[in-house]
Amino acid sequence: MSRGGAAAVAALLILLVLPPFFVDDYVQFILDLILVYVMVSFGFNIVLGYAGQLAFANAAFFGLGAYTLAICLGRLDWPFPAALFAAAVVGGAAGLLVSLPALRLRAYYLAIITLAFGELLRWTYVHASGLTRGSSGLGVPAISIFGIPVASDRARYWLFLALAGLTLWGSANLLRSRFGRALVAVRGNEAAAAAMGLAPAVVKIGAFAWSGVVVAIGGAMYALLLGRISPESFGLSQLLLHFSIVMIGGLGSLVGSVLGAVILTAAPELLRDIPGLEEIIFSLLLIGVLLFMPKGVAGLLGRLALFRERLYLT
């Protein structure tokens, strides 16, 4: 990294670390939520944008992350790092599972099957009440990391920042590596990718599994943030929100995912006082983006030449 680049990263880090000193609880909550949705939309983007797979299991990965964390913490009394690791592993395994139909099925069937997978999980959360406490919801106990309690909102924000930072940094590296190139190659022309010795199936499985890991960590953060989770948080409206963030931010764009998460988390809060307006604006925004800005906000910025990020990362 150049010296200017390092300075910019340092400045950005400081900017990101500071907010808890200046904002009230409410704004702090919104910032935490933004970090959750950055994770969620970026993870979704790996499958939807980079791998080009029409799979809608994102709310499922999200819910699995949240429930795994809550169960490991609250019911099994695991320490937080172990519970978080378990959430990531379960997310990755779910991603792997979902990738199997993706290897055989084409667009619409894959979309339907993955939607069904999400609904099936939601049904399971309701009915496996011995483990999940069903519709009444499952509480998430306070956590500590290696003996240090994460008691304040500030500490939680910093924890989220670290988790999101590490995961996104890792993901960006992954997409910039030969794996990312393989992903774009398979998406662009599967026959040509195989002709270079790449196994398309392995590449797709990897993308789904990594997506599952990232989104499940986001789900675990969500559980920590809310302190109580219930099945209805992980249904179709959650999925629609994830999808909208990816589409509005920009398919296949990392920076777009961040922008989309900021816009769609902050906007509803600003519009909250006028009933119904939130949903209307939300829908109009999505329709507008799909019709007029197929590459989302990131694509629009790119066209304005204010800012350039390529559809793929290299």
Partner 1 sequence: MALLEVEGLSVAFGGLAALSGVSLAVSAGTVYAIIGPNGAGKTTLLNAVAGYVRPASGRIRIDGRDTTDLAPHAIARQGLRRTFQNGGVWGEMTVLENILVGVDHDAQSGLLGILFGFGRDRRTERRAVAEARAILARAGLAGIEDKRVRDLSFGQQRVIEISRALVSRPRILLLDEPAVGLSESEREELGARLRALAQEGTAVILVEHVVDLVMAVSDRVLVLNSGQVLAEGTPEEVRGDAAVVEAYLGSA
Residues that bind partner 1 (CB under 8 A): 169-171, 173-174, 177-179, 181-182, 184-185, 188-189, 191-200, 311-312, 314
**Residue 90 vs 174, nearer CB to partner 1:** 174
With beta carbons less than 8 A apart as the criterion, state whether 69 and 224 touch. Answer: yes
CA gap 176, 162 in Å, rounded: 21
**Residue 2 vs 314, nearer CB to partner 1:** 314
**Residue 196 vs 306, nearer CB to partner 1:** 196
Nearest distance, CB of residue 186 and partner 1, angstroms: 10
Count of CA atoms in the C-beta half-sphere (13 A) of 41: 32
**Residue 141 vs 188, nearer CB to partner 1:** 188
**Residue 184 vs 297, nearer CB to partner 1:** 184
**Residue 87 vs 214, nearer CB to partner 1:** 214
SS3 138: strand
- Per-residue burial over 76-106, b = 16 or more CB atoms within 10 Å of its CB, e = otherwise: eebebeebbbbbbebbbebbebbbebbeebe
Nearest distance, CB of residue 197 and partner 1, angstroms: 4
Nearest distance, CB of residue 173 and partner 1, angstroms: 5
Question: What tokens does 73 get?
Answer: 């913490």
Nearest distance, CB of residue 44 and partner 1, angstroms: 19
Question: What tokens does 183 get?
Answer: 């992903």
Q: Which residues lie below 8 Å from residue 225, measured CB to CB, with a gap of 6+? A: 29, 32, 33, 36, 156, 160
Residue 284 bridge partners (DSSP): none
Nearest distance, CB of residue 270 and partner 1, angstroms: 36
Nearest distance, CB of residue 154 and partner 1, angstroms: 26
CA gap 192, 150 in Å, rounded: 50
Of the candidates 61, 50, 53, the one whose C-alpha atom is nearest the C-alpha of residue 105 is 53
Tell whether the torsion through CA atoms of 107, 239, 181 and 299 is positive or negative: positive
**Residue 98 vs 174, nearer CB to partner 1:** 174
In the chain, how long is the greatest CA-to-CA distance?
Answer: 57
Nearest distance, CB of residue 184 and partner 1, angstroms: 6
Tell whether the torsion through CA atoms of 123, 128, 129 and 132 is positive or negative: negative
With beta carbons less than 8 A apart as the criterion, state whether 245 and 6 touch. Answer: no
Nearest distance, CB of residue 206 and partner 1, angstroms: 9
Torsions phi, psi of 43, nearest 5?
-60, -45
**Residue 31 vs 183, nearer CB to partner 1:** 183
Nearest distance, CB of residue 185 and partner 1, angstroms: 5
**Residue 197 vs 276, nearer CB to partner 1:** 197
Q: Which contiguous run of DSSP H or E holds residue 228?
A: strand 228-229
